[in-house]
A = this chain, B = another copy of it.
């Protein structure tokens, strides 16, 4: 059902922090031109945690309208508790999303029973496929592989996006997924070819915003069993991914460093108009921005159009 390259779209903003729908349309078109297989709106890379519900909806509506049915659009329903997620999921359904992507509850300390209840309640209440989103660095909880495969077997979830960085754990999900018909997507920018080699169905790379063509080439090569080509592409993308390490980390946190770099790169490539990130995230400095541009040049990525 879900496969291929499904970039978690950035949310371009105007200088005063509103959703820049023109830039988002261009970003969406850029991705479609590159041949991506789906689009994920409202993920961590989309600064969803920083967006109001209104802005989340504007972003989702814009992408769905631009995609015009060419590829499925998955919508993040990222929030702390079941009822809050449910509201997001219902709005996403009304706007035409193909699925909703849901993390474990956060802010509260939960155990496996509560996480299970969370997904089961949502499955019962939302008339859309459910994608589990494993991102322990953000929610402080790692989805246990056994829970994931059990939810799949019982039809509660149809896919998983694994952003845990724990490839051995993802392997356990992949091994258990065959029975349940679970689509397995990796969120790793730098281990995508390996995840594909191990049976992943697709890739959800934040860096795909900047270089979707690269990830599409990587995916197609891996799909065709040509892991040598996939690895060569992966190496180029891994080198490019170093842009997330440019920001001075004594100044900003990990997320500002990564999203600031993606947006700086998208501005440099002429895809979006402004590098602004949503508060409290901070953009790169001018000097850091120039370093991003240098890396793009080294990776052979110029301005589009």
Minimum distance in angstroms from A214 CB to a CB of chain B:
16
Asked if A253 contacts B107 (CB within 8 A), the reply is: no
Given contact pairs A113-B252, A255-B108, A279 touches B118 in the complex (Cβ within 8 A):
yes
Q: Which of A28-36, A62-70, A163-171, A261-269 contacts B (4 or more CB under 8 A)?
A: A163-171
Q: Which of A80-88, A91-99, A151-159 contacts B (4 or more CB under 8 A)?
A: A80-88
Q: How far is the CA of A255 from the CA of B114 in the complex (A)?
A: 10
Q: How far is the CA of A271 from the CA of B128 in the complex (A)?
A: 40
Q: Which residues 271-305 of A sit at the B interface, judged by CB distance below 8 A?
A: 278-282
- Write out the residue numbers on chain B whose beta carbons fall within 8 Å of the beta carbon of A194: 167, 194, 197-198
Name the contact of A105 in the complex, choosing from B168, B188, B227, B280 (C-beta under 8 A). Answer: B280
Asked if A171 contacts B80 (CB within 8 A), the reply is: no
Q: How far is the CA of A121 from the CA of B17 in the complex (A)?
A: 13
- Write out the residue numbers on chain B whose beta carbons fall within 8 Å of the beta carbon of A115: 280
Name the contact of A81 in the complex, choosing from B49, B113, B167 (C-beta under 8 A). Answer: B49
On chain A, the number of residues with a Cβ less than 8 Å from chain B's Cβ atoms is: 61
Minimum distance in angstroms from A133 CB to a CB of chain B:
12
Q: Which of A1-9, A50-58, A202-210 contacts B (4 or more CB under 8 A)?
A: A50-58
- Write out the residue numbers on chain B whose beta carbons fall within 8 Å of the beta carbon of A47: 81
- Write out the residue numbers on chain B whose beta carbons fall within 8 Å of the beta carbon of A111: 249-253, 256
Tallying the copies of this chain within the complex gives: 4
Q: How far is the CA of A227 from the CA of B280 in the complex (A)?
A: 42
Asked if B117 contacts A282 (CB within 8 A), the reply is: yes
Q: How far is the CA of A249 from the CA of B110 in the complex (A)?
A: 10
Q: How far is the CA of A52 from the CA of B188 in the complex (A)?
A: 32
- Write out the residue numbers on chain B whose beta carbons fall within 8 Å of the beta carbon of A197: 194, 197, 227, 231
A78 at the interface (CB under 8 A from B): yes
Minimum distance in angstroms from A277 CB to a CB of chain B:
10
Q: How far is the CA of A113 from the CA of B168 in the complex (A)?
A: 28
Minimum distance in angstroms from A148 CB to a CB of chain B:
15
Q: How far is the CA of A114 from the CA of B260 in the complex (A)?
A: 13
Q: How far is the CA of A167 from the CA of B281 in the complex (A)?
A: 28
- Write out the residue numbers on chain B whose beta carbons fall within 8 Å of the beta carbon of A44: 107-108
Minimum distance in angstroms from A195 CB to a CB of chain B:
9
Name the contact of A106 in the complex, choosing from B107, B110, B171, B235 (C-beta under 8 A). Answer: B107
5 contacts between A and B (CB under 8 A): A52-B87, A109-B254, A111-B250, A167-B167, A197-B231
Interface residues of A (CB under 8 A from B): 17, 44, 47, 49-52, 55, 78, 80-84, 87, 105-111, 113-115, 117-118, 121, 137-140, 165-168, 171, 175, 188, 190-191, 194, 197-198, 227, 231, 235, 238, 249-256, 278-282
Beyond the given A50-B82, A115-B280, please list 19 additional residue pairs across the A-B interface where CB-CB is below 8 A: A44-B108, A47-B81, A49-B105, A49-B108, A55-B83, A81-B279, A82-B279, A108-B138, A108-B281, A110-B281, A111-B249, A111-B253, A114-B252, A114-B256, A114-B280, A114-B281, A114-B282, A121-B279, A171-B191
